[in-house]
Structure 1
Amino acid sequence: MNTATVSDAETPRSLTARILGTPSVGPLLVLLGFCVIFALTNPRFLATHNLSIILQQTVIIGVLAIGQTLVILTAGIDLAVGAICVLGTIVAGKLVNLGYDPVLSMGFAILLCTAAGLAAGGLVSGLRLPPFIVTLGILGILTAALRLISEGGAFPVRDPFLAWMGNTMKLGGFVLTYGVLIMFTLYAIVWYLLNQTKWGRHVYAIGNNAEAARLVGIPVRRHLLSVYVLAGLIYGIAAWLALGRIPNADPNAMQSANLDSITAVVIGGTSLFGGRGGLIGTLIGALIVGVLRNGLTLAGIDPLWQDLVTGILVIIAVALDQMSRRRS
């Protein structure tokens, strides 16, 4: 009888410990904390219109963070996230403005972004080059190429198909774009791949210890290549979302996309050292970035200070992850 009593007494505590130990709970508490702070300091923050804007502003970084999560889970990092996405907007916009079919133009642009991921994955998996160096090199190449293709300036893209992701629909009091729905759909698909398939388990195994994964028979190089290819495909879809958000192709756009996507992933609980984390945390992390920027904008804070705060959050998140690994 005493044993049963002790067991019954410990059940609530063990349940609470499990809940608090869930990786996404910490980021969720941070998100709620920011929401409370901004709601108390500005009554406009919780307005339905403003919350809809936050979701719409989160779409591009939220989708880019999916690909970044895949790469970071394998103990890599992608510094060409923004450049590959801009590549998609520039190529699709140029082709449509030259009179080509918009569907084929967008399809070709997404294919080109996927090819950029293939190139990065080939260099990382085939030649075993550090992901940091490879993606930094691709960033430099694309930055120059995009300015040459666009002839150094931005240009409008007015095709209805390319702007389709920006069309809105009402859901209760919220005004959502189709891009928001596509973002949640992508999260659901990639979450399933990571958590319910053998491929996803292998991705985590490679991130934990690539050599050990190879020794147990996991085709490490092939899986690494597939991760970068899938990430490139996702960046291409993000380019379509970006044209829906702002119907303008600009080679200088998304200057902070790399930092924001990495911030969303790391704040969401995914370890920069690989093998630990998940997409639910990344989605919460992307919302944290969106809420933070929106709240600071409502408060009249200069965008430069917003970047400073974002950088500080990244450092804090990485430091906490490092301390957690040492304790483990």
Structure 2
Amino acid sequence: MPDRSGVRSASALDVAIAHQTHSVAGRLLSQQAFWIFLAAVIACVSLSLATETFATSQNLFNVTRNFAFVGIVALGMTVVIISGGIDLSVGSVLCLSAMVMAISMNAGVSFVLSAALAIGVSLLVGAVNGALIAYLRIPAFVVTLGMLSIARSAAMVLSDNKMVFQFGPDEDILFWVGGGSTFGIANPVIALVLFGLVTGGLLNWTRWGTHIFAVGANEKAAILTGISVRRTKVSVYMFSALMAGLAGILEAGWLGGVTTNLGQSMELTVIAATVIGGANLLGGAGTVFGSIVGAALIEVIRNCLILLGISTFWQGGFVGGFIILAVAFDRLRAYRDSEI
């Protein structure tokens, strides 16, 4: 009788050799982010041919600026999802950050100090989320769903549920940071690129990034290897809150006013962007590039509906369909790999 363990070992070795000998093109074609990027490019080309307004400089400026806010928040969500968690509070944290900064600036505090205060509040919210999840072992869905309501309620209390649109002596700085441009590129887009490079570097070139992937792939194995899983979990929720807080500052500068419904339901769009871009909701997989491309595709879809005169009520249907297709593609790929 043949040695089955030997057969399995030989088969595993053959698979490993096959993966090592795959061409660059083969590896690229196997990435979900590549196909989403291709879909976004095709959509842009099709819209440019079908309409006279999509390819205009003003519309492209608006599209890139609009998806930048979702993209920045998606960077933090990507880190959380890779770790095997979920953060439903990002929209409310964005609102709370923007409101703290708006109220501070309205009281005469400088832009720098107000932004620092807003970021500090965001990090505090992220630390509370992480501590409850990591140390009390409360499910992430429950904790962040509760924080979704708490953070937005805090924004309402601070502002007495009123719009803040006067930002004191430094309001021109705020308006330039969030609504201005540099070399014809919207400042939020530049911020997205910078934050994306930093996040990608942290995930791929630091011990912290390695620990995040390890925790998401197999938490028990990560514990056995000596990784501080609890501290890693706290750090990823703080990072997610940080990205949401930064996006809140930028969006306040773009809108020129802050209301308590800012960022409402944004968490759904952000999660959609990360999943469409290839992040695995079970943890252990995800890329910065994929999440940014996912955010871009969602904004292109929204812009497409507007330019073609289609009701924006269909936006949720298209986004939901892309989510299902993205997850189905990932499941089919996993099934195929398991059959090799």
Establish whether TM, by shorter chain, passes 0.5. yes
* 1:160 is the counterpart of 2:172: yes
TM-score by length of 2: 0.87
Structure 2 residue corresponding to 1:256, chosen from 265, 269, 278: 265
> After superposition, what is the alpha-carbon deviation per residue over 1:129-186, rounded to whole angstroms, capped at 9, x for unaligned?
1111110010121232222222223221441232231353453xxx322221111000
Distance 1:311 1:154, change over 3 A: farther
Q: Does 1:89 align with 2:98?
A: yes
User: Which stretch shifts more, 281-290 or 21-30?
Assistant: 21-30
CA distance in 2, matches of 1:225, 1:167: 32
Show the counterpart of 1:114: 123
Q: Secondary structure at the match of 1:161?
A: helix
Q: In the alignment, which residue of structure 1 is the partner of 2:157?
A: 148
Asked whether 1:62 is paired with 2:71, we answer yes
Q: Please say if residues 165 and 177 of structure 1, whose CA atoms lie closer than 8 Å, have aligned partners that are also in contact.
A: no
SS of match in other structure, 2:137: coil
Indicate if the aligned counterparts of 2:179 and 2:255 stay in contact, CA closer than 8 A. no
Q: Does residue 305 of structure 1 match 2:314? A: yes
State how far apart, in whole Å, the 2-side matches of 1:146 and 1:317 are: 35
1:75 to 74, 81, 84: 84
Note the C-alpha offset of 1:53.
1.4
Identity of aligned residues (%): 35
**What is the CA–CA distance in structure 2 between the aligned matches of 1:204 and 1:285, rounded to whole Å?**
20
- Rounded to whole Å, the distance in 1 between the matches of 2:52 and 2:216 is 44
Deviations 1:215-237 (A, max 9, x none): 11111111111111122111111
Matches within 5 A, 1:91-106: 91-106=100-115
TM-score (norm. length: structure 1): 0.90
- State the distance in 2 between where 1:197 and 1:142 align: 31
For structure 1, the residue ranges without an aligned partner over 5 or more in a row are 1-11
Contact preservation (8 Å) 1:68, 1:78: yes
Identify the match of residue 53 of structure 2 among 44, 55, 59.
44
Counterpart check, 1:291 vs 2:300: yes
Letter in 2 for 1:150: S
Counterpart in 2 of 1:29? 38
| 1:92 counterpart letter in structure 2 | M
CA distance in 2, matches of 1:156, 1:301: 32
Structure 1 runs (4+) greater than 4 angstroms displaced: none
CA distance in 2, matches of 1:37, 1:296: 13
Q: Match for 1:132: what amino acid?
A: F
Over the aligned positions, Cα root-mean-square deviation in angstroms equals: 1.9
User: 2:329, 2:94 → 1: CA distance?
Assistant: 30
Deviation of 1:14 after TM superposition, in Å, equals 3.7
Distance 1:170 1:115 in 2: 32
Paired residue secondary structure (2:174): coil
1:13 positional shift:
8.2
Say whether the 8 Å CA contact 1:55–1:180 is kept in structure 2.
Answer: yes
8 Å CA contact 2:178–2:249 kept in 1: the answer is: no
1:176-325 paired onto structure 2 within 5 Å: 176-325=185-334
SS at match of 2:172: coil
Distance 1:98 1:53 in 2: 31
For residues 24 and 102 of structure 2, the distance between their equivalents in structure 1, rounded to whole angstroms, comes to: 52
Of 246-255 and 157-166, the range deviating more from structure 2: 157-166
Contact 1:213 / 1:220 at 8 angstroms: preserved in 2? Answer: yes
